[in-house]
């Protein structure tokens, strides 16, 4: 099984901050990685797929990158609507999600 390790588990930030969330795969997954945002009581929403491709309608302040087996989701300037939990998802072999990163108000 491919394990996905996200860090940090909780991130405290302020509006306007640049925020970075990391997801490390236990083996090579090429670019088969997506990022989702989930708010309490709601279904997840896809933000990025194939490591760095922005889903249609997602603000450009969200971006994704890859370095080897490490993937990064960056929010360039945190907005009030961005306080949520973020999950990475690998789909190189079946599909597994990271354990999530909660972005909370500092």
Q: CA 75, CA 101: separation in Å to the nearest integer? A: 13
Q: How far is the CB of 51 from other proteins (least distance, A)?
A: 11
Q: How far is the CB of 1 from other proteins (least distance, A)?
A: 7
Q: Does 67 bind other proteins (CB under 8 A)?
A: no
Three-class SS state of 81: helix
Please answer whether residues 86 and 103 qualify as being in contact, where contact means their C-beta atoms are separated by less than 8 angstroms. Answer: yes
Piece in contact with other proteins (CB under 8 A), picked from 15-23, 65-73, 74-82, 94-102: 94-102
Show contacts with other proteins in window 19-38 (CB under 8 A): 32, 34, 36
Residue ranges of E strands in 53-92: 53-54, 62-67, 70-75, 85-90
Q: How far is the CB of 14 from other proteins (least distance, A)?
A: 26
């Amino acid at each position: 099984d491919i394990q996905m390790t996200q860090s940090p588990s909780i991130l405290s930030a302020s509006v306007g901050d640049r925020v970075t969330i990391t997801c490390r795969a236990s083996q090579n997954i090429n670019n088969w990685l997506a990022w989702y945002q989930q708010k309490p009581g709601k279904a997840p929403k896809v933000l990025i797929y194939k490591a760095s491709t922005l889903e249609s309608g997602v603000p450009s302040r969200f971006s994704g990158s890859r370095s080897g087996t490490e993937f990064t989701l960056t929010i360039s300037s945190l907005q009030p609507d961005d306080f949520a939990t973020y999950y990475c998802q690998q789909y190189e072999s079946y599909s597994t999600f990271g354990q999530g990163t909660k972005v909370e108000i500092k």
